[in-house]
């Protein structure tokens, strides 16, 4: 029987040079994942159990505030280190990777980038430390890629805003202490009539609804969020009135780097498991790793994974440099997610009948990975974004 912990010893090289500090970070996360996450993966997955203790420990390690300055309780690192962290966690369990990603690059980052100083001081230290868990609520039952179709409203009342509506597919939704929610404040202005608000757990009129029973990433919580005459104070408006959608698009530039990193981790875990398996599995008197057909599959998997990693880290480097990364993050997310699906499919194939069994990690990677081509903008949306961005800079042709 194979195990995720055993498999993680296989693919350790990177297609670029890491600093000594980055290597130390990667090794620390890898050891933590092997000790604290790997032994629990199957149980969490089967029971759809949220890993509360591990999330708390990740906060203590500084991973929930990795991209935020030390003055706000963060680790003061950047997206390059963040990508390393998400990949290492997701190579063992993608559920952990997506919990950290939604908390960090969506909820916390929205407050950090669009919020005022008072909001940063109030929320970021608690989120960075793991004292509070965050979620980010944009999607609705009838509003996915088309954010302008949102129905959740925020109506001005004395001293604040009254929220009504339902959000769906919200990662961390049922466990979040604070959520950033996008709501309609002026229906006539379309996407320019959307605004963002911080809502804390326990606010009257705010509750988690149905917890989704999912194909994969089952240890992460995906829930509805319901707002019924939920009144928040004026100071809970994040960013300028009517600019919630604009800010959300900025946040998604970083969020797509997160999903690319999640894809890398899941694909790396599947490749690691495959390398371990083909060296042990014997047919016709020798390890199946000695067959050329198997070797070619592995070669393609490893090459595509490295290419995806380079695209993802390029986006991270540019993000850390303060550059606009709409094109680069969409390219990374598109390519890494589709590569990851192919790698996980091949991993099941390489395992043969054992790839269909829960005793081996390949089937879980296969179930987990599909979300990567859907979440934070489907592959089809990424192609639209990339095309729009490259057409902006293409020379006109008469």
- Identify whether the C-beta of residue 161 lies closer than 8 Å to the C-beta of residue 232: yes
Q: What is the pLDDT of residues 244-282, one digit of tens each?
A: 999 999 999 999 999 999 999 999 999 999 999 999 999
Residue of 36, 33, 25 whose CA lies nearest to 7:
33
Q: Among the residues of the chain, which ranges form H helices?
A: 4-7, 20-32, 41-47, 52-60, 79-90, 94-101, 109-114, 117-129, 244-280, 292-320, 326-351, 362-369, 379-393
Average pLDDT, the chain: 94
CA distances from 18 to 91, 300, 332, 336, 376 (A): 18, 24, 19, 20, 28
Return the bridge partners of 179, or none. Answer: 135, 199
pLDDT at 35 over 90: yes
| Interatomic CA distance for residues 366 and 167, integer angstroms | 27
Is the confidence at residue 2, as pLDDT, over 60? no
pLDDT at 6: 47
Q: How far apart are the first and last CA of the chain?
A: 63
pLDDT at 12: 52
Query: What percent of the chain shows pLDDT beyond 70?
Result: 95
DSSP symbols for 266-318:
HHHHHHHHHHHHHHH-EETTEEGGGSHHHHHHHHHHHHHHHHHHHHHHHHHHH
Task: State the Cα–Cα distance between residues 169 and 118, nearest whole angstrom.
Answer: 29
Contact predicate 97/58, CB 8 Å: no
Kindly state the average pLDDT of the residues 107-134: 98
Mode of pairing for the β-strands spanning 178-184 and 222-233: unpaired
Pick from 94-98, 110-114, 188-192, 261-265: least confident: 188-192
Query: What's residue 3's pLDDT?
Result: 47
pLDDT tens for 323-347 read: 999 999 999 999 999 999 999 999 9
pLDDT confidence tier of residue 148, bands split at 50, 70 and 90: confident
Q: What mean pLDDT comes out for the span 350-370?
A: 97
More confident residue, 190 or 278: 278
Of the residues 27, 224, 376, 380, only one is catalytic, namely 376
Least confident of 5-19, 37-51, 287-301, 307-321: 5-19
Q: Going by DSSP bridges, is the β-strand pair 134-137/178-184 parallel, antiparallel, or unpaired?
A: parallel
- Region 7-26: what's the mean pLDDT? 74
Q: What is the pLDDT of residue 394?
A: 60
Q: Is the pLDDT of residue 380 over 90?
A: yes
| pLDDT of 58 | 98
Is 376 known to be catalytic? Answer: yes
In the chain, how long is the greatest CA-to-CA distance?
Answer: 79
Q: How far apart are CA 59 and CA 54, in angstroms?
A: 9
Give the single-character DSSP code of 128.
H
Q: How far is CA 229 from CA 54, 61, 163, 164, 205, in A?
A: 34, 38, 6, 6, 6
Residue among 76, 44, 50, 46 at smallest CA distance from 63 = 76
pLDDT class of 4 with cuts at 50, 70, 90:
very low
Q: What is the model's pLDDT at position 144?
A: 78
Give mean pLDDT, residues 92-96: 98
User: What does the alpha-carbon distance between residue 144 and residue 378 come to, in Å, rounded to a whole number?
Assistant: 10
Using DSSP's 3-state secondary structure scheme, residue 369 falls into helix
Alpha-carbon distance of 234 to 211, in angstroms, equals 30
Taking 50 as the threshold, does the pLDDT of residue 100 lie above it?
Answer: yes
Q: Are 382 and 330 in contact (CB under 8 A)?
A: yes
Asked whether residue 7 carries a pLDDT value surpassing 90, the answer given is no
The Cα–Cα gap between 339 and 221 comes to 25
pLDDT recorded at residue 388: 96
pLDDT tens, 219-236? 999 999 999 999 999 999
Alpha-carbon separation of residue 327 from 109, 244, 248, 250, 384 (angstroms) = 19, 21, 16, 12, 10
pTM score: 0.94
Domains of the chain: 20-133 (1.10.540.10), 136-241 (2.40.110.10), 245-391 (1.20.140.10)
**Beta carbons of 267 and 339 less than 8 angstroms apart:** yes
Q: CA separation (Å) from 189 to 180, 184, 185?
A: 21, 9, 9
User: Are 86 and 101 within 8 A, CB to CB?
Assistant: yes
The answer, yes or no, to whether residue 284 has pLDDT greater than 50, is: yes
């Amino acid at each position: 029987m194979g195990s995720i912990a055993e498999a993680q010893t296989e693919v350790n090289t990177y297609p670029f040079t890491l600093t000594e500090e980055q290597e130390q970070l990667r090794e620390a996360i890898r050891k933590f994942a092997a000790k604290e996450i790997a032994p629990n993966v199957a149980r969490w997955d089967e029971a759809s159990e949220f890993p509360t203790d591990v999330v708390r420990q990740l906060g203590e390690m500084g991973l929930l505030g990795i991209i935020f300055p030390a003055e706000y309780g963060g680790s003061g690192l950047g997206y390059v280190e963040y990508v390393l962290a998400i990949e290492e966690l997701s190579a063992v369990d993608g559920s952990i990777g997506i919990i950290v990603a939604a908390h960090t690059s969506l909820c916390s980052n929205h407050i950090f980038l669009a919020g005022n100083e008072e909001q940063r001081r109030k929320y970021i230290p608690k989120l960075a430390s793991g004292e509070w868990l965050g979620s980010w609520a944009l999607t609705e039952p009838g509003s996915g890629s088309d954010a302008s179709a949102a129905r959740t409203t925020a109506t001005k009342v004395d001293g604040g805003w009254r929220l009504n509506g339902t959000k769906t597919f919200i990662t961390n939704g049922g466990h979040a202490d604070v959520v950033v929610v996008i709501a309609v404040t002026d229906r006539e202005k379309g996407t320019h009539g959307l605004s963002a608000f911080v809502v804390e757990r326990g606010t009257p009129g705010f509750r988690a609804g149905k917890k989704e029973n999912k194909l994969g990433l089952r240890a992460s919580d995906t829930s509805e969020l319901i707002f019924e005459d939920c009144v928040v104070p004026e100071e809970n408006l994040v960013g300028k009135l009517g600019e919630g959608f604009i800010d959300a698009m900025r946040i998604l530039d970083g969020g797509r780097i997160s999903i690319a990193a999640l894809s890398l981790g899941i694909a790396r875990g599947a490749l690691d498991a495959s390398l371990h398996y083909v060296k042990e599995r014997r047919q016709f008197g020798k390890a199946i790793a000695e067959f050329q057909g198997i070797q070619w599959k592995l070669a393609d998997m490893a090459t595509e994974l490295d290419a995806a990693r380079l695209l993802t880290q390029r986006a991270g480097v540019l993000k850390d440099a303060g550059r606009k990364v709409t094109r680069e993050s969409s390219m990374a997310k598109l390519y890494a997610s589709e590569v990851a699906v192919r790698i996980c499919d091949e991993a099941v194939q390489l395992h043969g009948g054992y790839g269909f069994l829960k005793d081996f990690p390949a089937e879980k990677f296969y179930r987990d990975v599909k979300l990567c081509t859907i979440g934070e903008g489907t592959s089809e949306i990424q192609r639209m974004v990339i095309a729009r961005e490259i057409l902006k800079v293409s020379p006109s042709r008469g």
